[in-house]
Structure 1
Amino acid sequence: MSGQTTVIRDFEKGDIEGVAGMFQHTFRGVAGSGKAVPQSLIASIEQSFFRHPWNEPDLHSKVAVDEAGRVCGFIGVTPARLEFEGRSLLAAFAGSMMVDDPKANPLIGARLLRAFLAGPQDISLTETANHTALGMWQKLGHPLDPAYSLNWMCVLRPASTAVQLMERRVTAARLIRPVGRIADRSIAVLRRPSFGNGEARRLEFRDVTAGEFGQALLALKDVYPMRPQWDAGNIDWFIRQAEQKRSFGYPEWRVAYGPDGRPAAAYVYFAKAGGIGWVLQALSMPARTGEMVEDMFAHAYNYGCASVRGAAHPWLTPALLQRKAVFLGRSFYVAHAKDKSLLEPIKAGQALISGIAGERWMPLVGDTFDD
């Protein structure tokens, strides 16, 4: 099949099973057309792309369809309503881009990306581009944003973290988990972690419900000049979607309250004893970021996490650097707008456009979908 005979069109509900099968093969390494597609994956695709609270009639995900009517490519598009300097903006995030047999059809990915960029949105974004997708963006003249592309990790238990990283390459490495735990106990005897002692605490951090966390996000979002147009209804939808990502662990919702009783910081991470905790969202008043990071690391350590990691946010980076977090590139953030003034708050690191405010709330980003 030639890529030139392939049609790019809007994603329809009838395409869901074909897209789900391709997703399993591309991102989860599940081979074989006879393998049943998990119903949880089908349901997640429908929720993310057809029941999104900000769905727009002219903004759609795209599929590539061959001459036989078979779906052979996909780019997922999720809308976002942003506000900036009194303006209401339509943004669109592109993710889960995949092509069946990309070597035989090398042009389909670029055609899908061009179809996305030709949409009605004011600003086009992605926070989950891999190296292949990033290359396509760059060929179209859209470079990555370094500040939002960084990933970070804080090692809490060195030996257990090493075992966790080994398991990603060699499954049998899980057999030496007990050795890692014993080694970390010995390390802790010699050097106790100092998390929570580096800042003069003026905030009260509490474990809260998902609903209380959502209320804190509504109170804190206005700290950022460019921010999502969350309200009580749609923030609940995003949080309920994010809460399903249980392959990462259990969501720990934390909010810090100041002396006046108002939220001053909030974060949520997925905790797994002995595993790597994964931060989904963190935001704070500017003067409170250090206290928030201290509490995050202390909480993850006390939970039993081997380490904690997350996608970088520019307002977090200085506090993370001061606490010896390590930085690496894993996924890449790209932003494009015809009106270049809309990119200024992103370049300045003053945009709340990642995590729950981006596309990482989606179960498609990282979940395993084991029915």
Structure 2
Amino acid sequence: MSEIRPLERDDISAIAEMFQRILRKGHGPAPLGAREYLETLFLDPPYRDDDIQSLVHLREDGTVNGFMGVLPMPFVYQGKTLKSAIGGSFMVDGHEQDPYAGARLLRAFQSGPQDLSLTETANDVSTTMWRKLRGTVLPDYSLEWLRILRPAGFIAAMAASAFPPAAIAKPLARPFDALLRRRGAAPQWTHVSDAEFAGKTLATEDADAAETVSLFQQFVSAFALHPQWTENALQRMVHESQRKADYGAMVRRKVLSRGGKPVGLFLYYGDAGGIGRVIQILSLPGQEGPVIDAMLADATERGLVALRGRGQPTLINAMLGRRFAFIHASSSIVHAKDKTLLEPFIKGQAFFNGFAGESWTRLLGDRFD
């Protein structure tokens, strides 16, 4: 008979191979770095809670064929600390032979002691399972956004992503984009012109790790429901988030008011000629628009061809009118034993996604080589 139990150290090799084949679509054995990181992340997570652990699904012969990676993360709401858990790296090996293994894993996860069970990376199959188990899909948290900065470069980058030899066309896109961007300062859907942000955005400066931790704690406190980060745990998360080799170099900058006070922070990854991945945008209430503009100006100056990221309700409201496109690639979902805890999520008053999720981890965007 199949079994579900907490992850053990001896399971890591099997989990790493599943991770390499199923989630990374890789060939060959899992890199040693991936094994080491999976072990560190899921057996010694930033927030340890012995009652909330990652889960494995075992076949009848005792071999591992399923995994739910679980990251404990306490949230606070109306002065009360909530036991919460982020579920991700959800995978089943040989789904055809055991079609209910995933549902059993998800049910076991939701049946844990936590008040909130969350995920920000549910694909269509996982979303169907969450719905059947009374999870609430959050549309405004599930939208991904895209802002094109250089259209020819964007097309070339997309082509290279699908067919790597097409990267040879990237230099050919630059003259076209340069010509297009000189055509006046009127805002366009297709690109950001040279003059669109010139002298019009708030100043930005690099934020070191210590300042990043402080600003995170400051900005998330404006949300009715938000993570209850300890300084040590958040320091570790900020440190681990620095490396995502597949996404490019990390850019982490604070946005300053005219008087020099920090009013926002953005963190993205990307190199000139590439599409940047935004992991987090934070701001004081009412400053979302200026912070977004400062981020777009920064990415444009660095030569990126587009930016993409995950939405939050306050960000989506600020992006309307700024020529962003929105798509749905995966779902953010919450399951609450006390249904009154769904209210801040439904009203867009919860801080969720990015660092309040699993996008900060090296599992998304690193090569482990």
Alignment TM-score > 0.5, same fold: yes
Partners in 1 of 2:297 and 2:253 — Cα distance? 12
The correspondence for 1:9, drawn from 5, 10, 14, is 5
Shift of 1:187: 1.4
Aligned residue for 1:176, secondary structure, equals helix
Aligned residue for 2:159, secondary structure, equals helix
Aligned residue for 1:328, secondary structure, equals strand
AA aligned to 2:353 is S
Corresponding residue number in structure 2 for 1:110:
103
The answer to whether structure 1 residue 240 and structure 2 residue 233 are counterparts is: no
The correspondence for 2:73, drawn from 69, 80, 104, is 80
Corresponding residue number in structure 2 for 1:136:
129
Corresponding residue number in structure 2 for 1:196:
197
Aligned residue for 2:263, secondary structure, equals strand
Q: Which deviations, in whole Å up to 9, do the C-alpha atoms of 1:339-360 show, x marking residues without a partner? A: 1111111111111121012211
Shift of 1:6: 2.1
Aligned residue for 1:344, secondary structure, equals helix
Aligned residue for 2:282, secondary structure, equals strand
Partners in 1 of 2:312 and 2:177 — Cα distance? 30
Q: Which deviations, in whole Å up to 9, do the C-alpha atoms of 1:67-89 show, x marking residues without a partner? A: 33321111111111111110001
Corresponding residue number in structure 1 for 2:189:
none
Aligned residue for 1:230, secondary structure, equals coil
Q: Which residues in structure 2 correspond to 1:304-319 (within 5 Å)?
A: 304-319=303-318
1:99 and 1:327, CA in 2 relative to 1: closer, same or farther beyond 3 A? same
Corresponding residue number in structure 1 for 2:190:
none
Where do 4+ consecutive residues of structure 1 move more than 6 Å? none
Matched-pair contact (CA < 8 Å) for 1:242–1:356: no
Shift of 1:260: 6.3
AA aligned to 1:281 is Q
Corresponding residue number in structure 2 for 1:28:
24
Q: Which deviations, in whole Å up to 9, do the C-alpha atoms of 1:72-114 show, x marking residues without a partner? A: 1111111111111100011111111111111222111111101
Q: Which residues in structure 2 correspond to 1:84-163 (within 5 Å)?
A: 84-163=77-156
Partners in 2 of 1:239 and 1:333 — Cα distance? 22
Aligned residue for 2:337, secondary structure, equals coil
Partners in 2 of 1:258 and 1:273 — Cα distance? 27
Calculate the TM-score normalised by the size of structure 1.
0.93
Unmatched 5+ stretches in structure 1: none
**RMSD across aligned positions (CA):** 1.7
Aligned residues: 361
Unmatched 5+ stretches in structure 2: 185-192
Q: Which deviations, in whole Å up to 9, do the C-alpha atoms of 1:94-150 show, x marking residues without a partner? A: 111111111222111111101101100001100011111111111223241101000
Q: Which deviations, in whole Å up to 9, do the C-alpha atoms of 1:144-166 show, x marking residues without a partner? A: 11010000010001011112222
Aligned residue for 2:162, secondary structure, equals coil
Matched-pair contact (CA < 8 Å) for 1:24–1:30: yes
Q: Which deviations, in whole Å up to 9, do the C-alpha atoms of 1:229-256 show, x marking residues without a partner? A: 1232121111011112232111111112
